[in-house]
């Protein structure tokens, strides 16, 4: 008997009743359920009604209405890979090339009408059994994919928000697992007068075991940070706590490289320790600073049982107000070019790109896009193949830029509203015309609520932030929004005037549930860029006139 | 109908086969009388398929011979082969 855990129904198609009776009887004897029909139209309707219940099709080639090969093509449109047995009285020696046409399709098989019962049953059983194995594997893979998706979400939810901007400092992060889950982690905690504690960790290896260790370490760090006085521990003390946690819980399983930094914007320094991790990168005024000339630091956390980190391992780096600090896990240098002989990303290239982009980010208030632009630049150089998990962190003191408003906030209606109020107050304090402030506020709220409503699913929205930058350019405003939501549909305007483009945009955005007509009315032009998963939208908002040119 | 265990099913298939052979003989006579070679070939092919499915290799072989003669438009040979099929059908 055929296995009952899986479907056992076979569709038999032949315009001769006798053949249908014989084949069905033979298959039923082997435990298969048969649905026998005399024409292609009925066969297609039967298959369409319940495509998942059939495990195979047995069909004649020469039929009155439609040729068996045409029928096969139609079946492939309904149930792509179902095994298809051609049962025919045609003799391969007669020519006509029908055997070749059968073999064109990897899931098609030949059966002569004279086939003996045991041969028919054996062939069908073998093919169907292999399909059942394939189905089992596919179901298992689908289950695994769902589990990994959930694990990935749990990991994501354990990480702090992607970016923060406070009156004294900022940080942004970029976290990408090689597979669904990551052995990399970062933790960020604000304490004291604008101080921040950062931990960037890289569990040895990647995949499930590294990811499980990552969640354990991330949980431990969160608990540790909530202990009284914990934020005021030195980087060496935190490293020792991590070392003890590793040796008690993950000894002989894994170890972790870690960079632990305490940034104190008011005193202008960063205290940091490298436990086998790449050194902290500090860029100031377009130049790289030498941060660790004495090659200080310790072994990876948990690698050896007797490791003890001391204050002598801790480095203090003085920072100017304009300096940018960057940290990365060594997976960054494991990104290779896609072609087979492509090498890995050289550290010199990374540092050159960082230096150039950090200057731009600092002087133009584009810090939230710094890391996403860095990774896009690497990918444009051909470094697109990730061979390890990669995490980057950048932080620095808040650098107020004349005439530039910057903000990073959680994507909730309350936070969006609060950010809008703060932005309007800033505009008022900087002498912007009242009417203009109202227009900018409308665009701001429309855009951010649109991202909130349409950019994320319910579970990811909770952890998301957006960043904005507002600059006055004569009689217009330039509002830049950075978010990690799903990309907006882009309207390609090949020909036609702006009114036509506007109509197209309206129609397209309406179809996507993103009716942003007001934004289009209020802006002269909208630019959209995407850096990896980061959307950059720039609105050019005239104070006095209402154009509607669309670029995208 | 070799290796089928259910006698009732075998009987049903046998009855249907006898009926189908009789029908095909009528069709072969009609198409041969009109020397309508394409439908004649098609009917012989169907008869061959039914005979093979039923395990009747003798009638299947005669049907193949009719197709060969039809390809040569040899009406005389076709008539002789058809007469043999009729004789055999009486033995079913």
Q: How many CA atoms lie within 13 A of B82 on its CB side?
A: 25
Residues in chain B closer than 8 A to A22 (CB atoms): 1, 13, 53-54
Instruction: With H, G, I as helix, E, B as strand and everything else as coil, classify residue B82.
Output: helix
Sheet strand arrangement including A534-542: A404-410, A465-473, A476-483, A534-542, A525-531
- The answer to whether B50 contacts A112, with C-beta atoms less than 8 Å apart, is no
Give kind and range of the element (H or E) at residue A474: none
Residue A387 and residue A434 in one domain:
no
Contact between residue B48 and residue B60 where contact means Cβ atoms under 8 Å apart: yes
Interchain contact A88–B (C-beta under 8 A): yes
Residue B62 lies in a domain: yes
Residue B47 lies in a domain: yes
Residue A293 lies in a domain: yes
Nearest to A118 among B3, B20, B54 (CB): B3
**Size of the A and B interface in Cβ pairs below 8 Å:** 64
The chain B residue lying nearest A17, using CA atoms, is B16
A175: domain CATH number is: 3.60.40.10
CA distance B59 to chain A (A): 12
d(CA B90, CA A217): 88
d(CA A320, CA A59): 79
Residue B2 lies in a domain: no
- The answer to whether B53 contacts A113, with C-beta atoms less than 8 Å apart, is yes
d(CA A361, CA A347): 20
d(CA A353, CA B80): 91
Residue A464 lies in a domain: yes
A114: domain CATH number is: 3.40.50.2300
- The answer to whether B3 contacts A116, with C-beta atoms less than 8 Å apart, is yes
Instruction: With H, G, I as helix, E, B as strand and everything else as coil, classify residue A538.
Output: strand
Residue A119 and residue A223 in one domain:
no
Give chain A's mean pLDDT: 87
Domain holding B41, by residue range, is 7-90
Residue A466 lies in a domain: yes
Contact between residue A195 and residue A264 where contact means Cβ atoms under 8 Å apart: yes
Q: Among residues A397, A425, A441, which one ends one of the domains?
A: A397
Q: Give the pLDDT confidence score for residue A488 in this predicted structure.
A: 61
pLDDT tens string A443-484 = 999 889 888 888 777 767 677 899 999 999 988 999 999 999
d(CA A419, CA A403): 17
- The answer to whether B5 contacts A29, with C-beta atoms less than 8 Å apart, is yes
Instruction: For an interface test with A, give the residue of B20, B49, B51, B59 to mutate (most A CBs within 10 A).
Output: B49
What is the tally of helices (H) and strands (E) in chain B?
A: 4, 0
d(CA A327, CA A260): 10
Interchain contact A488–B (C-beta under 8 A): no
Residue A316 and residue A185 in one domain:
yes
Confidence of residue A3 (pLDDT cuts 50, 70, 90): very low
Residue B36 lies in a domain: yes
pLDDT surpasses 60 at A320: yes
d(CA A348, CA A332): 12
Residue A135 and residue A238 in one domain:
no
Residue A333 and residue A416 in one domain:
no
Please choose, from the candidates A214, A355, A239, the residue with its C-alpha nearest in 3D space to the C-alpha of residue A289: A355
Interchain contact A21–B (C-beta under 8 A): yes
Residue A237 and residue A344 in one domain:
yes
Nearest to A18 among B2, B5, B17 (CB): B17
User: Between the CA of residue A406 and those of A88, A258, A362, A375, A465, what are the distances in Å?
Assistant: 75, 31, 12, 22, 13
Residue A439 and residue A508 in one domain:
yes
Sheet strand arrangement including A54-59: A33-37, A9-13, A54-59, A84-88, A108-112
Instruction: For an interface test with A, give the residue of B39, B51, B52 to mutate (most A CBs within 10 A).
Output: B52
Residue A547 lies in a domain: no
Residue A54 and residue A95 in one domain:
yes
Residue A119 and residue A199 in one domain:
no
Q: Which residue, chain included where needed, has tokens 């309904």?
A: A78
Residue A154 lies in a domain: no
The chain B residue lying nearest A118, using CA atoms, is B3
- Bridge-partner residues for A470, per DSSP? A405, A479
d(CA B30, CA B53): 24
Residue A236 and residue A330 in one domain:
yes
The chain B residue lying nearest A113, using CA atoms, is B53
Average pLDDT over residues A519-542: 88
B50: domain CATH number is: 1.20.120.160
Residue B85 lies in a domain: yes
Number of domains observed in the structure of chain B: 1
pLDDT surpasses 50 at A549: no
Residue A548 lies in a domain: no
Number of domains observed in the structure of chain A: 3
- The answer to whether B6 contacts A18, with C-beta atoms less than 8 Å apart, is no
CA distance A490 to chain B (A): 58
Q: Among residues A142, A174, A194, which one ends one of the domains?
A: A142
pLDDT tens string A355-397 = 999 988 888 888 999 999 999 999 999 999 999 999 999 999 9
What is the ipTM metric for this complex?
0.89
Interchain contact A65–B (C-beta under 8 A): no
Domain holding A46, by residue range, is 9-142
Q: What residues contact A191, with CB distance under 8 A and at least 6 apart? A: A197, A231, A232
Confidence of residue A89 (pLDDT cuts 50, 70, 90): confident
pLDDT tens string A398-444 = 988 899 999 999 999 999 999 999 999 999 999 999 989 999 999 99
Contact between residue B59 and residue B47 where contact means Cβ atoms under 8 Å apart: yes
3-state DSSP helix/strand/coil % of chain B, to nearest 5: 85, 0, 15
The 8-class DSSP code of residue A344 comes to B
- The answer to whether B49 contacts A88, with C-beta atoms less than 8 Å apart, is yes
pLDDT surpasses 90 at B79: yes
Residue A153 lies in a domain: no
Residue A163 and residue A308 in one domain:
yes
Residue B49 lies in a domain: yes
A499: domain CATH number is: 3.30.565.10
d(CA A269, CA A292): 14
Average pLDDT over residues A23-36: 92
Residue A54 lies in a domain: yes
Chain B residues contacting A via beta carbons under 8 Å = 1-6, 9-10, 12-13, 16-17, 20, 42, 45-46, 48-50, 52-55, 57, 60, 64
Q: Among residues A110, A142, A174, which one ends one of the domains?
A: A142
A373-380 LR contacts (CB < 8 Å, sep 24+): A373/A531, A374/A174, A374/A350, A375/A174, A375/A531, A375/A532, A376/A531, A376/A532, A377/A353, A378/A335, A378/A345, A378/A349, A378/A350, A378/A353, A379/A532
Residue A334 and residue A354 in one domain:
yes
């Amino acid at each position: 008997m055929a296995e009952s855990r899986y479907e056992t129904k076979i569709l038999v198609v032949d315009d001769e009743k006798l053949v249908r009776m014989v084949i069905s009887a033979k298959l039923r004897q082997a435990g298969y359920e048969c649905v026998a029909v005399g024409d292609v139209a009925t066969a297609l309707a039967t298959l369409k009604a319940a495509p998942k219940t059939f495990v195979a099709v047995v069909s004649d080639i020469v039929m009155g209405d439609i040729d068996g090969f045409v029928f096969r093509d139609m079946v492939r449109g309904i149930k792509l890979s179902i095994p298809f047995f051609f049962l025919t009285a045609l003799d391969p020696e007669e020519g006509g090339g029908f055997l070749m046409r059968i073999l064109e399709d990897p899931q098609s098989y030949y059966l002569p009408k004279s086939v003996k019962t045991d041969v028919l049953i054996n062939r069908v059983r073998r093919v169907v059994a292999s399909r059942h194995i394939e189905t089992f594997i596919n179901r298992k893979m689908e289950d695994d994919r769902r589990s990994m998706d959930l694990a990935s979400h749990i990991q994501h939810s354990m990480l702090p928000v992607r970016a923060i901007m406070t009156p004294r400092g900022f940080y942004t992060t970029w976290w990408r697992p090689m597979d669904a889950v990551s052995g990399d982690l970062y933790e960020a905690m604000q304490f004291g007068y604008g101080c921040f504690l950062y931990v960037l960790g890289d569990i040895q290896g990647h995949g499930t075991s590294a990811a499980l260790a990552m969640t354990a370490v991330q949980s431990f760090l969160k608990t540790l940070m909530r202990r009284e006085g914990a934020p005021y521990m030195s980087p060496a003390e935190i490293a020792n706590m991590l070392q003890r946690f590793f040796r008690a819980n993950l000894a002989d399983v894994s170890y972790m490289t870690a960079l632990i930094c305490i940034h104190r914007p008011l005193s202008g320094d960063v205290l940091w320790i490298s436990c086998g991790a790449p050194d902290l990168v500090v860029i100031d005024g377009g130049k790289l600073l030498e941060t660790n000339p004495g090659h200080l630091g310790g072994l990876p956390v948990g690698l050896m049982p007797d490791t003890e980190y001391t204050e002598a391992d801790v480095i203090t780096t003085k920072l100017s107000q304009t300096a940018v600090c960057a940290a990365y896990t060594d997976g960054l240098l494991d990104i290779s070019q896609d072609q087979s002989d492509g090498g890995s990303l050289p550290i010199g290239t990374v540092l050159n790109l960082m230096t150039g982009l950090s200057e731009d980010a600092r002087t133009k208030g584009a810090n939230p896009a710094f890391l996403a632009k860095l990774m896009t630049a690497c990918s444009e150089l051909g470094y697109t193949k990730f061979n390890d998990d990669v995490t980057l962190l950048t932080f620095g003191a808040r650098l107020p830029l004349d005439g530039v408003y910057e903000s990073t906030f959680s994507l909730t209606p309350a936070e969006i509203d609060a950010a809008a109020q703060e932005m309007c107050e800033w505009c008022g304090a900087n002498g912007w015309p009242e009417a203009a402030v109202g227009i900018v506020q409308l665009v701001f709220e429309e855009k951010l609520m649109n991202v909130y409503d349409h950019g994320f699913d319910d579970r990811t929205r909770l952890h998301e932030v957006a960043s904005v930058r507002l600059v006055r350019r004569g009689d217009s405003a330039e509002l830049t929004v950075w978010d990690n939501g799903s990309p907006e549909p882009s309207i390609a305007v090949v020909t036609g005037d702006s009114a036509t483009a506007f109509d197209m945009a309206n129609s397209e955005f309406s179809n996507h549930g993103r009716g942003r007509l007001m934004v289009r009315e209020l802006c002269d032009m909208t630019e959209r860029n995407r850096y990896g998963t980061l959307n950059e939208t720039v609105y050019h908002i005239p104070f006095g006139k209402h154009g509607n040119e669309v670029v995208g | 109908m070799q290796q089928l265990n259910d006698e009732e099913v075998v009987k049903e298939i046998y009855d249907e086969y006898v009926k189908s052979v009789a029908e095909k003989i009528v069709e072969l006579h009609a198409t041969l009388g009109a020397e309508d070679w394409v439908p004649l070939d098609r009917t012989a092919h169907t008869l061959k398929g039914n005979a093979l499915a039923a395990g009747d290799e003798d009638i299947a072989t005669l049907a193949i011979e009719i197709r060969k003669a039809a390809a040569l438009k040899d009406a005389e040979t076709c008539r002789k082969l058809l007469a043999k099929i009729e004789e055999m059908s009486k033995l079913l």
